Amino acid sequence: MSVRRTGPRATLVRVATYGLLVSVAVVVIFPFIVALSTSTKNNDDIFSYPPTLIPREAQTVEATAVGGTGDEPLPLYEFDDSTATFALVDNNVSVAEYRPLDDLNTVIRRDVSDGEETGQTVVVDGEEEDVFVIQVDGESVEVYRSRLTSGGLFVSVDDNTDQRVELVNLAEPLKQFGPRLENFSEVVTEKELGRSLSNTVLVTIAVVAGQIITSILGGYAFARIEFRGRGQLFLLYLGSVMVPFVVLIIPLFQLMVQFGWLDNLSALIIPFVFTAYGTFLMRQFFIGIPKEIEEAARIDNASRSTILWKIMVPLARPAIATLATFGFLYAWNSFFWPLVIINSGNPDGRVLSLALSTLGGRGSTDINLVFAGAMIAMTPPILVFLFAQRYFVENSASSGLK
By CB under 8 A, the residues from 332 to 361 that bind another protein are: 332-333, 335-336, 339-340, 343, 348-349, 353, 356-357, 361
- Total residues at interface with another protein (CB under 8 A): 122
Phi, then psi, of 78 in degrees rounded to 5: -125, 155
Q: Does the footprint of another protein cover residue 391 (CB under 8 A)?
A: no
The dihedral sign for the CA sequence 18, 24, 29, 30: positive
Q: Does the footprint of another protein cover residue 115 (CB under 8 A)?
A: no
Q: CA–CA separation, 135 vs 145, rounded Å? A: 14
The nearer residue to another protein, 169 or 301, going by C-beta atoms, is 301
24, 54, 107, 235: which one contacts another protein (CB under 8 A)? 24
15, 29, 181, 287: which one contacts another protein (CB under 8 A)? 29
The nearer residue to another protein, 153 or 265, going by C-beta atoms, is 265
Q: Does the footprint of another protein cover residue 84 (CB under 8 A)?
A: no
SS (H, E, C) 180-249: CCHHHHHHHHCCCHHHHHHHHHHHHHHHHHHHHHHHHHHHHHHHHCCCCCHHHHHHHHHHHCCCCHHHHH
Q: Are 146 and 130 in contact (CB under 8 A)?
A: no
12, 19, 32, 172: which one contacts another protein (CB under 8 A)? 32
Residues 287-326 that bind another protein (CB under 8 A): 298, 301, 303-306, 308
13, 15, 136, 235: which one contacts another protein (CB under 8 A)? 13
Q: Does the footprint of another protein cover residue 184 (CB under 8 A)?
A: no
Q: CA–CA separation, 22 vs 12, rounded Å? A: 15
Residues 360-389 that bind another protein (CB under 8 A): 361-363, 367, 370-371, 374-375, 377-378, 381-382, 384-386, 389
If we measure between CA atoms, which residue out of 253, 190, 199, 128 comes closest to residue 377?
A: 199
Residue 57 beta carbon to another protein: minimum distance, rounded to whole angstroms: 18
Q: Does the footprint of another protein cover residue 393 (CB under 8 A)?
A: yes
The nearer residue to another protein, 132 or 328, going by C-beta atoms, is 328
Question: For residues 288-313, b (16+ Cβ closer than 10 Å) or e, as one string?
Answer: eeeeeebeebeeeeeeeeebbeebbb
Residue 331 beta carbon to another protein: minimum distance, rounded to whole angstroms: 11
Residue 141 beta carbon to another protein: minimum distance, rounded to whole angstroms: 37
Q: Does the footprint of another protein cover residue 199 (CB under 8 A)?
A: yes
List residues bridging with 177 in a β-sheet.
Answer: 56
CA atoms in the 13 A half-sphere facing the CB of 101: 17
Q: Does the footprint of another protein cover residue 43 (CB under 8 A)?
A: no
Which of left, alpha, beta for 350 (phi over 0: left; psi -120 to 50: alpha)? beta
If we measure between CA atoms, which residue out of 56, 14, 62 comes closest to residue 37?
A: 56
Residue 89 beta carbon to another protein: minimum distance, rounded to whole angstroms: 31
Q: Measure the CA angle with vertex 24, ends 21 and 30; round to 5°.
A: 130
Q: Which amino acid is at 316?
A: A
Q: Are 396 and 217 in contact (CB under 8 A)?
A: no
Residue 380 beta carbon to another protein: minimum distance, rounded to whole angstroms: 9
Residues 217-276 that bind another protein (CB under 8 A): 217-218, 220-222, 225-230, 233, 236-237, 240, 242-255, 257-261, 264-266, 269-271, 273-274, 276
